[in-house]
Amino acid sequence: MRSLLTTAFSAALAALSATPLLAQEGEKVDLLSPNAGVMFWTLIIFVVLLFVLSRFAFKPLTAAVEAREKHLEEMIQSAKADRDEAARLLAEQQKALDASRAEAQRVVAESRITAEKLRNDMMEQTKQQQRELLDRARGEIDNERKRAITDLRREAVDLALAGASKLVERNLDDQTNRNLVESFLASAPVGGNGRGQR
């Protein structure tokens, strides 16, 4: 590319120098000697342009772009912070949920235990009452029986005595007989159920 244009340039220069008749107005064509006046103006224009452009074009342009980049960066940062916050909240919620679930389970288990205990207690109590009731009934029955035995015995004694008196009417106060009867009665079983006196 450059070599091409340089070749073209040198060829053109050669052509120009080879045809002096082309210099129409008698001026020598001198492409390579700089004009100091143009150099001066170039310098002035460039410096002014540099000042104006950097002050009024490049500075605001880059500033705006940097502001935009900063804004984007902030957005990204805040989005990231939001996401982290959301994740934290989610974890918190999860933890709370887990805790309440465990609590519920604990409560259920506890109440089950309580109910069990209550049931057992009541059962025990019922049994106790039943037993007491039974015992009392048994005691009363015993008492009744004892009284019945005592009554029966007195009755038997009286009967025996009555029988004996009938006998005595014949044997006349036979003390020996009477003792005999007494000892018999003492050893005789009460009733017909085979249960002996205690």
- Per CB under 8 A, contacts with another protein among 106-145 are none
Interaction of residue 184 with another protein, rule CB under 8 A: no
Interaction of residue 33 with another protein, rule CB under 8 A: yes
Interaction of residue 4 with another protein, rule CB under 8 A: yes
Per-residue HEC secondary structure of 138-181 comes to: HHHHHHHHHHHHHHHHHHHHHHHHHHHHHHHHHHCCCHHHHHHH
Q: Which is nearer to another protein, 28 or 198 (CB)?
A: 28
Closest Cα partner for 180 from 169, 167, 191?
167
Interaction of residue 23 with another protein, rule CB under 8 A: yes
Question: What are the angstrom distances between the C-alpha of 166 and each of 159, 171, 172, 176?
Answer: 10, 9, 9, 15
151: helix, strand or coil? helix
Smallest separation, CB 80 to another protein (Å):
20
Interaction of residue 18 with another protein, rule CB under 8 A: yes
Q: Which is nearer to another protein, 15 or 118 (CB)?
A: 15
Interaction of residue 89 with another protein, rule CB under 8 A: no
| Residue found under tokens 């129409």 | 24
What DSSP designation does 55 have?
I
What DSSP designation does 156 have?
H
The C-alpha atoms of residue 167 and residue 109 are separated, in whole angstroms, by: 82
Question: What are the angstrom distances between the C-alpha of 183 and each of 35, 69, 176, 189, 192?
Answer: 174, 129, 11, 12, 19
Interaction of residue 61 with another protein, rule CB under 8 A: yes
Smallest separation, CB 97 to another protein (Å):
40
Interaction of residue 34 with another protein, rule CB under 8 A: yes
Smallest separation, CB 66 to another protein (Å):
10
Q: Which residues bind another protein (CB under 8 A)?
A: 1-9, 11-12, 14-16, 18-19, 21-25, 29, 31-43, 45-46, 48-50, 52-54, 56-62, 64-65, 67-68, 71
